[in-house]
Amino acid sequence: MAVTITQVNGAADTTPADNSKNTTFRTVSQNSPKKVLIEEGTGTWCGWCPRGAVAMKHMDTNYPNDFIGIAVHNADPMVVAEYNSGANFNGFPSMNVDRIALNQGVSNDNMTTLVNTRKVLITPAQLNASGGLAGNSLTLNASAIFRTVMSNANLRFAVVLVEDDVKGTTTAYNQKNYYAGGGQGVMGGYEVLPDPVPAAQMIYDHVGRMLIGGYTGQAGSVPTSITDGQVVNYTFTANIPTTYNLAKVKAVVLLLNAATGEVINARSFLLGSLGTSTAETNTNYLTVYPNPASEYFKVQADKNVDIKLFDTSGKIVLEKTNISPDSPVSVEKLAKGMYFISITEKGSAPKTQKLIIK
């Protein structure tokens, strides 16, 4: 929309250079469910940080459908350097809400207020995920169903792996606790625990473990031109350390505004629950053959597909678009071993399966 003022109180403006203004209004055909992301800065060395753990538990209990919490650790054994640097907290505990309300004070009331404020925002895309694990190798298909039109979108997908029930045995996992003794009031039971709380008594939840796609998201993961009803997919792969308890790990899928860093929407999925998504249910016929392959493989499909082949480190080693059904794809230049292939038909979420090259 362009607005121009040509006269003020019936008289011509003597400085016309500032008389025009352009802005963009974006409509949605339907609103999508939104979850609010709170990333809380914490550390085992921080005596006030039990307040953050208590507030996150409060939100889990009272706002499970509106809230996703991630504990971003600083200067302790659970720190992820890129995450700590990207969050850039100026104090602890502190929190970033949807990466737009930054360095907010941490308390039950503050979290509640900010979640209630942001959960009602109009949201242009619904998030889904599918994929699976082969041992500790994760393939995750992030998917967004857009309910708006964009001609110059600057959006990205990102994924954060989050683990609950994290425990340690060394003194580095002791939690400093300024609430010990009750002089600072009631704090979710920490007032009756010692300072520090021994590692043997501590269980850390919401621990941010890994960034997939980086803190600022994966460049090129969302197109610049988007139509109403369009399904956008992007496949991430990662090797998860064997020290993580996969039964307690969640993948948090984020849709980011790359220009501002704001989290447009977020959704979390237990790794064990990742399977065929709603958008995938009609793509079960997609398959690769022969498998194992030696010289080539083909894709059994009803229409043309796009493929990406990943090695076990997550690197894309082969990518092709608009492949006709049952057309041979050469693998003669690839090393023998196990790969993951992501197959996408237009309008559907990717289907991922293992491919062996012998």
Average pLDDT of the segment spanning 235-264: 96
CATH code assigned at 317: 2.60.40.1930
Number of domains in the chain: 2
Kindly state whether residues 99 and 125 are assigned to the same domain.
Answer: yes
pLDDT of amino acid 220: 96
Which domain-ending residue is among 209, 239, 273? 273
pLDDT score for 52: 99
Segment 18-51, tens digit of pLDDT? 767 665 556 898 889 999 999 999 999 999 999 9
Are 151 and 186 in the same domain? yes
Q: Are residues 254 and 332 in the same domain?
A: no
Range of the structural domain that residue 315 is part of? 287-357
Both 268 and 317 in one domain: the answer is no
Asked whether residue 269 falls in the same domain as residue 304, the answer is no
Neighbours of 155 (CB within 10 A): 22
Name the H helices within 34-134.
50-62, 81-87, 108-118
Looking at the domain assignment, is residue 131 inside a domain? yes
Quick check: is 226 in a domain? yes
Same-domain pairing of 111 and 233: yes
Look at residue 247 and tell me if it is in a domain: yes
For all residues of the chain together, what is the average pLDDT? 90
CA atoms of 346 and 185, how far apart (whole Å) = 57
Residues 182 and 212 in one domain: yes
Residue 348 within a domain: yes
Residue 237 has what pLDDT?
94
Q: In the structure, what pLDDT confidence band is assigned to residue 311 with cuts at 50, 70 and 90?
A: confident
What does the pLDDT read at residue 112?
A: 98
pLDDT of residue 276 exceeding 80: no
Bridge partner list, 163: 207, 249
Name the band, by pLDDT with cuts 50, 70 and 90, for residue 282: very low
| Contact yes or no for 194/180 (Cβ under 8 A) | yes
Q: Give CA–CA dist 246/6, Å, rounded.
A: 64
Q: pLDDT at position 277, please?
A: 40
Distance CA 81, CA 335 (A): 33
Co-location of 111 and 226 in the same domain: yes
N-terminal to C-terminal alpha carbon distance within the chain: 59
User: Could you read off the pLDDT of 108-127 as tens digits, one per residue?
Assistant: 999 999 999 999 999 999 99
Task: Give 340's pLDDT tier (boundaries 50, 70, 90).
Answer: confident
Instruction: Write down the residue that tokens 């209004």 correspond to.
Output: 25
Q: Looking at residues 141-157, what average pLDDT do you find?
A: 95
Strand order across the beta sheet in which 101-104 lies? 101-104, 94-97, 36-42, 67-73, 207-212, 155-163, 249-257, 263-270
- Has residue 11 got a pLDDT over 60? yes
Domain C-terminal end among 248, 273, 298: 273
- Which residues fall within 8 angstroms of residue 14, CB to CB, at 6 or more apart? none
Q: Pick the range with the lowest mean pLDDT from 22-36, 167-181, 259-273.
A: 22-36
Residue 186 CA from chain centroid, whole number: 34
Question: Do 191 and 249 lie in a common domain?
Answer: yes
